[in-house]
Amino acid sequence: MNRVLILNGPNLNLLGTRQPEVYGATTLAMIEDACRAHGETIGLNVTCLQSNHEGVMIDAIHAAKGTQDGLIINAGAYTHTSIALMDAVSSVAIPTIEVHLSNIHAREEFRHRSYLARVALGQICGFGAVGYHLALDALKAHLEPT
Active site residues: 23, 100
Q: What torsion, rounded to 10 degrees, do the Cα atoms 1, 68, 128, 87 define?
A: -160
HSE-up (13 A, CA, CB side) for residue 25: 0
Q: From start to end of the chain, where are the E strands?
A: 2-8, 44-50, 70-74, 96-100, 122-125
Query: What is the edge-to-edge ordering of all strands in the sheet holding 2-8?
Result: 44-50, 2-8, 70-74, 96-100, 122-125
> Collapsing DSSP states into helix, strand and coil, what is residue 45?
strand
